[in-house]
Amino acid sequence: MKNKLIKTVCVMLVATILFSVATVGNAFAKDFPDAAIDTQVGNANGLEKEDGLWVFYNNEEIDYDFVGMAKNQYNWWYVENGTINFEYTGISENKYGSWYMKDGKLDLTVTGMVKGDDGWVYVKNGKFDSTYTGMAKNDYGWWYINNGKLDREYTGLSSNQYGVWFIKDGKLDYSYIGMTKHEGKWYYISNGTIDRSFEGMAKNQYNWWYIKDGCIDYSFKGLAKNEYGWWYINNGCIDRKYKGIARNKYGLWYVSNGTIDYKYKGTCTNEMGTYNISNGKATRKKMKLCSSWKYSYALDIPQIADTTSSWNLILVNRNFVLPDGYINNIKLSYATSNTSERLDSRVAPYYQRMYNDAFFQGVYLTPCSGYRSYNLQKNNFENKISYLVSCGYSKKDATIKASTEILPPGTSEHNAGLAMDITSISQSFESSAAFRWLVKNAHNYGFILRYPKDKQSITNIIYEPWHWRFVGVEAATEMKETGQCLEEYLGVVR
């Protein structure tokens, strides 16, 4: 009975030992799925412990020439001179790949840059990752990794979790300021990253360019400044062949060979009209006064409107009257298919398109008053004068006051067929959905709010939220971006 009990205890003890060894081996195999770990001790080939020291056997003899990875029941190890080298940290290989060894032992916890015998490489879960291309960090900074290896020849952009960065000779360069190309697109770099706050000129090996939101703005046309002066930009870069008038925030200027010509004196005509040039500055040429003006007892005699400008940019206001016969030669078309209001036939298609697009968004841009004949404008104006006189104003004062609300005949954009009063001739129109839609979208169809609230001192017309003037898509877009009214845009500000 006693012998039987001893035998049972011995069996249980052996089973416990075997289970423990199997558990260690299985746990290691789980952490290292690429290889099946042989947990048997005492192989003819491999690591074996003797007198507390692990030695490497090959054909039953200690192999002092072997250098590389070997395994025991606990892990993979780095072997050199016949035993584990616990001081080794770097990259080593086995038949499953290249691995990161730390203090002689395989380290599956590391993901990132590590240094091997041939340089810095990228490992993922301890294994060299030849598929990785991108940025990685070590103690010396951020670097560019290509196919798992540090690429010191790479110069360009790359990204990490913090943004997009400029890499020079494989390393993030915080000092770089300038332009660089990435995936076919040019970017402006400052302090090592794309500077989306920068707006202005920058240079690459081909030209000077206009930068906005961190990259070349190919749509920009106009004057921009660098350390050498003001330059004319077309399609995003300096146009050294350009000769004519261009604008900056200080006004209109004469440009020759792509830059402001401060020595030029003379005249220049473009789509905005005819200008006198002095020391490079362009000012609108004064036109002849209207000899047939009948309101000179109260109002300044206006100049005859400059018809050398493009038809869509002709300036018509209290200071500029349409020439005799101009109104009679305007070809008219209905503004929309369901209205009797008309516009210049060149404007009507733009209004129809704007009307349709707004309609499909649930907004109604009902034409209220478009083209007006000279006689109709004359009657409206003089009826207003008569009404004010009946209210106690002198004829002179009545005429002056009337001209701030209704323009004298020949000085209204309605006479030119270029303007439309939309939906309601009322200040309340400002709070309507139609007005909000127009403010956001009208420039895309070539229309501007002609008499803004903050420009009354320039236009000399009360705020009219209902009055929208056609100037063309390019001019309307530029005026919206710069916040200018038509007088400012044309350089005609008294």
| CA 492 from centre of chain | 33
Tokens 């009360």 appear where? 462
- Determine which one of 341, 464, 474, 478 is catalytic: 464
- DSSP H or E stretch at residue 246: strand 243-248
Q: What would the DSSP string read from start to end of 131-192?
A: T--EEEEETTEEEEEETTEE-TT--EEEEETTEEEEEETTEE-TT--EEEEETTEEEEEETT
Q: Based on the residue annotation, tell me whether 478 is a catalytic residue of this protein.
A: no
Whether residue 154 contacts residue 170, with contact meaning beta carbons closer than 8 Å, is answered with: yes
Sign of CA dihedral 82, 87, 92, 95: positive
Eight-state DSSP code of residue 44:
S
DSSP helix/strand/coil, 339 = coil
Separation CA 400–CA 298 (nearest Å): 6
306 phi, psi to nearest 5 deg: -80, 105
Separation CA 165–CA 177 (nearest Å): 11
Query: Helices in 58-106 by DSSP H: which ranges?
Result: none
Separation CA 160–CA 462 (nearest Å): 55
Residue 173 in tokens = 């360069």
Beta strands in 257-354, from DSSP E residues, in sequence order: 259-260, 266-270, 273-278, 281-284, 303-304, 320-321, 332-334, 342-344
Active site residues: 464
